[in-house]
């Protein structure tokens, strides 16, 4: 499985450069290839925040320390992938719009999202006592999660944005080559997320068991 | 074309490096948990 992911992602990278044609209609058609990494990282960030809130709710219901650890791990990965989406987006914005950052609605929304989750980690590091920290951060996580869909899915569509909004779902949006590479990249990034998530939770579980024994 | 190949090498090398690191970490964690 892991080996398959290694080969899969290598093929995705090769496909992004060699299989997909230069994107027509872009200022720098070759640089548009960065969307193969930009869009999936943003997707995975959303998935990670969803997983995080699921474990937060699970923790509040059952008070298992592992659920809190999983929630925090997934929030951390969501933050990482959101950061990657911001970085790749910023590079793309520089070539396409001429500015690395120009407060486009989606740039504002991811900036606010990063701030919200940065506050989550600040909260986690500020509270003493495992049980209390877990309960408080799980509650905060749920509040943060309520804001997330508005920031990610609603606000950029309501406000005028330079970002396209229906490209992925509309039939005319992307050529077949772009679709194949983009969705394959999304699958690869989800696989990468799952792998890191499981590794990190295994490490936390080991640490928790050691502390108890 | 050759320029594209040159650009492809950087992400490919990064990915392979990350992959090897995760593989190593996975092996270590599995050994710890055994």
Among candidates B7, B15, B25 on the partner chain, residue whose Cβ is nearest the Cβ of A199? B25
Kindly state the tokens that stand for A25.
């209609």
Dihedral of alpha carbons A173, A174, A179, A182, sign = negative
**In contact, A123 and A136? CB cutoff 8 Å:** yes
Please report, for the domain that includes residue A34, its CATH number: 1.20.120
**Interchain contact, A206 vs B12, CB within 8 Å:** no
Taking CB atoms and an 8 Å limit, are B15 and A196 in contact across chains?
no
Contacts for A101-104: CB closer than 8 Å, 24+ residues apart: A102/A162, A104/A161, A104/A162, A104/A163
Chain A hits for B25, CB-CB cut-off 8 Å, are 199
ipTM: 0.90
> How close does chain A come to B9, measured CA to CA in Å?
9
**Strand ranges (DSSP E) for A82-168?**
none
Of B8, B29, B33, the CB nearest to A13: B8
CB distance A140 to A59 below 8 Å: no
Q: Would you say A104 and A161 are in contact if contact means Cβ atoms under 8 Å apart?
A: yes
Q: State the residue range of the domain holding A90.
A: 2-212
From the list A17, A30, A202, the residue facing B33 with the nearest CB is A202
pLDDT tens for chain A, 213 residues: list them. Answer: 889 999 999 998 988 888 888 777 777 777 888 888 999 999 999 999 999 999 999 999 999 999 999 999 999 999 999 999 999 999 999 888 888 888 888 888 899 999 999 999 999 999 999 899 999 999 999 999 998 888 888 887 777 777 876 666 555 567 888 889 999 999 999 999 999 999 999 999 999 888 887
Judge if pTM exceeds 0.80: yes
Q: Give me the torsion for CA of A210, A63, A120, A159, rounded to 10°.
A: 140
pLDDT at A159: 77
- Interface check for B23 against chain A (CB to CB < 8 A): the answer is yes
Look at chain A and report how many structural domains it folds into: 1
CA A179 from centre of chain: 19
Where do we find the tokens 């590079």?
A91
Give A142→chain B minimum CA distance, Å: 30
Task: Tell me if chain A has a CB within 8 Å of the CB of B16.
Answer: yes
B5–A18 CB contact, under 8 Å: yes
Contacts of residue B5, defined as CB under 8 A and 6 or more positions apart, other chains included, come to: A17, A18
């Amino acid at each position: 499985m892991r080996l398959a992911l290694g080969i899969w992602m290598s093929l995705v990278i090769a496909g992004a450069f060699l299989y997909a044609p230069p994107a027509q209609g872009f200022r720098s058609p070759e640089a548009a290839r960065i969307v193969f990494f930009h869009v999936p990282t943003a997707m995975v960030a959303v998935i990670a925040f969803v997983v995080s809130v699921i474990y937060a709710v699970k923790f509040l219901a059952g008070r298992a320390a592992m659920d809190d650890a999983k929630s925090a791990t997934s929030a951390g990965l969501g933050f990482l992938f959101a950061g990657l989406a911001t970085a790749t987006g910023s590079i793309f914005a520089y070539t396409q719009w001429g500015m690395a950052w120009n407060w486009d609605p989606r740039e504002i929304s991811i900036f606010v999202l990063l701030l919200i989750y940065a506050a989550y980690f600040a909260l986690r590091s500020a509270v003493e006592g495992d049980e209390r920290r877990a309960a408080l951060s799980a509650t905060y996580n749920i509040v943060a999660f309520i804001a997330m869909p508005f920031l990610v899915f609603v606000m950029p569509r309501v406000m005028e944005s330079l970002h396209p909004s229906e490209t992925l779902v509309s039939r005319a949006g992307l050529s077949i080559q772009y679709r194949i590479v983009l969705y394959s990249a999304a699958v690869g990034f989800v696989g990468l997320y799952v792998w890191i998530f499981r590794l990190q939770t295994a490490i936390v579980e080991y640490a928790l068991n050691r502390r108890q024994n | 074309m050759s320029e594209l190949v040159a650009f492809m090498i950087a992400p490919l090398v990064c990915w392979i490096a990350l992959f090897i690191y995760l593989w190593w970490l996975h092996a270590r964690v599995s050994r710890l948990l055994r």
